[in-house]
Amino acid sequence: MTHDFTEMARRLIHKAADSSFYNPETKRLLDRAQALPAEERRALAEAFADRYRSGIEVEPVRSKLLTLTALVGHGLDGLPLAEERTAQLDRLSRTHSVWGGDRHEALCQAEVAAGRTLSAAVVATLRRTALIADRDGDLVAFAGQFTDPVLNVGEEWAEKAMEDERWRKLLAHAVTAKSAKPSAAWEKGARALVDGLGAGAVHGAVLDWLVLVGRPRTFELRRKTYEPDVNASFDPYNANALRGLAWLLPLLPPHPDTARALGVLVETSLRKAAGLGPRNPKVANAAVNSLTRLDGEAALAELARLGTRVTYKGTLKLIDAALEARGAALGLSREEIEELAVPAHGLTEVGKAGFRLGEATALLEVRGNKAVLAWSNATGKQVKAAPAAVRRDHAEELKELKGLVKDIDKSLSAQAERLDRQFLARRTWAYGQWRARYLDHPLVGTLARRLIWTVDGTAACFADGELRTLTGAPVTGGTTVELWHPVATVPAEVIAWREWLERHTVTQPFKQAHREVYLLTDAERRTRTYSNRFAAHILRQHQFNSLAAVRGWHNKLRLCVDDSAPPATRELPQWGLRAEYWIEGEGQEYGLDTTDAGTYLRLRTDQVRFYPIDAPQNRASTYGGGYAMWPEAGRGRRVDPLPLKRIPALVLSEVLRDVDLFVGVASVGNDPTWSDGGPQGRFRDYWTSYGFGDLNQSAETRRALLERLVPRLAIADRCTVEGRFLHVRGELHTYKIHLGSGNILMTPNDQYLCIVPGASTAPGTGYLPFEGDRTLAVILSKAMLLATDTEITDPTILSQLRR
């Protein structure tokens, strides 16, 4: 090999090792090498192969040598390192994508040129890489040559769809869905394919595939450092096919399952993956667009349900626009559309429906926030499950019934959240309209009949078949109905309603009679324009962000970068107000205080303020520091915060209740495993003060309730409520459970006891006056456990009890 030839090889190895193949100097050298005559290129490829075999180099230089061998030897027969190249491609097949600058497609081209077929997993990696390789048209063109398999392997739904060859053309057409909405040409092609396959068969197949979307991958991909959770995300190539399948459904004949399947696809697509956020908003948006094109009550109901569940801004905007458009077309408000869209789900009276399947009878009944099926056989005897004859002869009807149960559960949750938001909506209803849409509605009635309403100013709740006042007098008519709130009621009446609910064993779907009321304090009168009531807390950012979105707040995740962000805000258009909760990222150490993507793990909280809704936005550095209002040029001026005494009592109470909820749920002080103070022990003082300190308003409400509940418990003789704690006397120790955090201290020296609650806590306490207070359930569950501490078998707990 000549000196010039050797020097070219040396410089190529050096430049490729130090930079990417996109580097201008590397590219210039490579172009020169690829322009050499075939024999010289073969010699150069052999030189790279010898260097690879020598073992002198380490990764990633060895991988670069393998690629150089393929690049320089492009088009030549019998390239060296064939086995090593195949092994490298096998490793790459277990990655989500590769960096285009490493030119791994050259290895694929060499394999194809050698007459070998690329594995389906390698093709999948190549396709995913092509979707992000915007700088390399050659790579995109090469990846586009592969039409087999029609979808990427690795996802259960895709592999199921590819099992039957008759769906190949349909799936190939679905993969071309790359725009926001289908074009006329795309739909024309889709209709032609459906006509050839049969609309019924297509509908059944598509729904069967969509059920599998989001399931664990059939083989895991290796996650690189700082890479999002690629195993929890959608394959981006297959995601285009999912968009196409969503577009396909409105072109098929109407079917009751279509709207349900699209709604599930929206929620599955928006489920979050670590380091990524929502799995694939584009798929969710495609499903929403398809729902807007479906006629009938089911699609409208699904849109209304999603409007209460979805928090991702882009998709929520589409849902809101669709509901507004439906309302405008019918001359109705958004709120009225949401009310009219609630389906009965087969219920024929409030909370009940009967179904005859052969000789068996199924009673579908709403109990609390869940739907249940109760079965009777041919003799009328109740049985635990569907009789064998039903499972054998009425499989489809049984499947539909189980689907109804799931739909009712989803709708109950969504409607409870919608009703909880009505306190600030300033809604009133005509009495007859309210009875039809709420009290007597087969589904919503199961919630509305457990709430207190005011009819022409008189508070009433449903009992013994009638709407009744505190004294039991029936309310049979009226003019105007509103949702009752305790802030405008004297304490004696609030207590009376709590006792009324207990006498009638009414469990409210959310706190109403026991709802916390936040009145202006002396400290807030002194600060005038802001509340420090919930300042200086440490919150888990992602948990706070999710909860804020559910409660109707807008928030931007704080990243440890040079950027700015507004505070968490809630707009209240009915009141002309905007509430702000000032927050900042906590800590500055990348990887300790942030995720791999640089998002802060924790926030530090500050003031709550109110502004006119059209006031310019405050902003602060994401690194921390004070907020300031900087109006855009020519668009207004700085606006002072409003005095808290001017904020309506209902608004102040509900906004502060939201903020109390954020702290109560997202504070690191609630975490029983943080007794060491978290990273470097920095938060030990905060954890102790929050976990065992003064009670906030929600904990005070919990305390008042426990004082009434404890005497009814099976362990009442072992429990007392004293100050901030529920005291529980066990056989080994006496325990103090904090009523705010649920954290535990035990005798003789207030030693901390760590008990991590399970995902589903079942305290078995009998009647509770409201749903939704998980901390209350955790406290009661711990009390039940510790009252019989000699029966505890969990080794983690036992090791602490015996210290």
Q: What is the pLDDT of residues 197-227, one digit of tens each?
A: 999 999 999 999 999 999 999 999 998 877 8
Does residue 754 sit in the same domain as residue 620? no
- Confidence at residue 346, expressed as pLDDT on a 0 to 100 scale: 87
Q: When comparing pLDDT for 607 and 671, which is higher? A: 607
Mean pLDDT of 405-415: 92
580-599 pLDDT, tens digit each: 999 999 988 888 899 888 89
Mean of the per-residue pLDDT values for the chain? 90
Q: Cα(568)–Cα(583) distance, rounded to whole angstroms?
A: 7
Does residue 203 sit in the same domain as residue 326? yes
- Confidence at residue 244, expressed as pLDDT on a 0 to 100 scale: 97
Q: Over 90: is that where the pLDDT of 772 sits?
A: no
Report the 10 Å Cβ neighbour count for 77.
10
How many structural domains does the chain have?
5
Asked if residue 568 is part of any domain, the answer here is: yes
Does residue 770 sit in the same domain as residue 712? yes
Residues facing 562 on adjacent strands: none
Contacts of 450 (CB under 8 A, 6+ apart): 461, 462, 506, 507, 508, 509
Contacts of 546 (CB under 8 A, 6+ apart): 311
Q: Cα(621)–Cα(376) distance, rounded to whole angstroms?
A: 64
Domain C-terminal end among 143, 165, 180: 143
Report the 10 Å Cβ neighbour count for 752.
14
Tokens standing for 275? Answer: 């380091």
User: Taking a C-beta distance cutoff of 8 angstroms, is the pair 540, 601 a contact?
Assistant: yes
Within a 13 Å sphere around the CA of 507, how many CA atoms are in the beta-carbon half? 11
Does residue 167 sit in the same domain as residue 38? no
Q: Over 50: is that where the pLDDT of 681 sits?
A: yes
Residues facing 611 on adjacent strands: 578
Under the banding of pLDDT at 50, 70 and 90, the label for residue 759 is: low
Asked if residue 708 is part of any domain, the answer here is: yes
Phi first, then psi, for residue 417 (nearest 5°) are -65, -40
Q: Over 50: is that where the pLDDT of 111 sits?
A: yes
Residues facing 628 on adjacent strands: 619
Asked if residue 139 is part of any domain, the answer here is: yes
Does the bond joining 509 to the residue before it have cis omega, within 30 degrees of 0?
Answer: no
Report the 10 Å Cβ neighbour count for 723.
11
Q: Cα(323)–Cα(70) distance, rounded to whole angstroms?
A: 56
Under the banding of pLDDT at 50, 70 and 90, the label for residue 74 is: confident
Does residue 331 sit in the same domain as residue 363? no
Asked if residue 448 is part of any domain, the answer here is: no
Amino acid occupying residue 201: A
Q: Report the alpha-carbon angle 766-772-774, nearest 5.
A: 80
User: Taking a C-beta distance cutoff of 8 angstroms, is the pair 493, 499 a contact?
Assistant: no
Asked if residue 554 is part of any domain, the answer here is: yes
Long-range contacts of 561-566 (CB under 8 A, 24+ apart): 561/598, 561/622, 562/621, 562/622, 562/623, 563/621, 563/622, 564/619, 564/620, 564/621, 564/622, 565/619, 565/620, 565/622, 566/617, 566/618, 566/619
Percent of the chain at pLDDT exceeding 70: 97
- Confidence at residue 85, expressed as pLDDT on a 0 to 100 scale: 87
Percent of the chain at pLDDT exceeding 90: 63
- Confidence at residue 520, expressed as pLDDT on a 0 to 100 scale: 94
- Confidence at residue 635, expressed as pLDDT on a 0 to 100 scale: 59
Domain C-terminal end among 286, 310, 340: 340
Mean pLDDT of 784-793: 93
Under the banding of pLDDT at 50, 70 and 90, the label for residue 3 is: very low
Q: Cα(368)–Cα(777) distance, rounded to whole angstroms?
A: 16
Q: Over 60: is that where the pLDDT of 376 sits?
A: yes
Amino acid occupying residue 145: Q
Does residue 327 sit in the same domain as residue 222? yes
Q: When comparing pLDDT for 615 and 308, which is higher? A: 615
Under the banding of pLDDT at 50, 70 and 90, the label for residue 2 is: low
Q: Over 60: is that where the pLDDT of 272 sits?
A: yes
Q: Where are the beta strands (DSSP E) in 449-591?
A: 453-455, 458-463, 466-468, 480-483, 530-531, 538-540, 564-565, 568-572, 577-585
- Confidence at residue 456, expressed as pLDDT on a 0 to 100 scale: 96
Does residue 388 sit in the same domain as residue 276? no
Asked if residue 404 is part of any domain, the answer here is: yes
- Confidence at residue 370, expressed as pLDDT on a 0 to 100 scale: 92
Lowest-pLDDT range of 303-307, 443-447, 606-610 = 303-307
517-572 pLDDT, tens digit each: 999 999 999 999 999 999 999 999 999 999 999 899 999 999 988 889 999 999 99
Asked if residue 500 is part of any domain, the answer here is: no
- Confidence at residue 653, expressed as pLDDT on a 0 to 100 scale: 96
Q: When comparing pLDDT for 59 and 171, which is higher? A: 171
**Residue span of the structural domain in which 87 resides:** 3-143
Q: Over 90: is that where the pLDDT of 186 sits?
A: yes
Contacts of 629 (CB under 8 A, 6+ apart): 615, 616, 617, 618, 619, 638, 639
Tokens standing for 474? Answer: 């029936």
Q: Over 60: is that where the pLDDT of 762 sits?
A: no
Among 36, 40, 11, which Cα is nearest to 26's?
A: 11
Strand order across the beta sheet in which 382-383 lies: 352-357, 360-367, 370-376, 382-383
Q: Over 60: is that where the pLDDT of 95 sits?
A: yes
688-710 pLDDT, tens digit each: 999 899 998 889 999 999 999 99
Contacts of 796 (CB under 8 A, 6+ apart): 754
Under the banding of pLDDT at 50, 70 and 90, the label for residue 135 is: low
User: Taking a C-beta distance cutoff of 8 angstroms, is the pair 684, 676 a contact?
Assistant: yes
Query: Angle 281-292/236-248 helices, nearest 10 degrees?
Result: 0
Asked if residue 269 is part of any domain, the answer here is: yes
Under the banding of pLDDT at 50, 70 and 90, the label for residue 802 is: confident
Does residue 746 sit in the same domain as residue 717? yes
Does residue 714 sit in the same domain as residue 745? yes
Does residue 643 sit in the same domain as residue 748? no
Domain C-terminal end among 281, 308, 340: 340
- Confidence at residue 765, expressed as pLDDT on a 0 to 100 scale: 62
Q: Cα(9)–Cα(261) distance, rounded to whole angstroms?
A: 58
316-329 pLDDT, tens digit each: 999 999 999 988 88
Does residue 317 sit in the same domain as residue 383? no
Does residue 410 sit in the same domain as residue 294? no
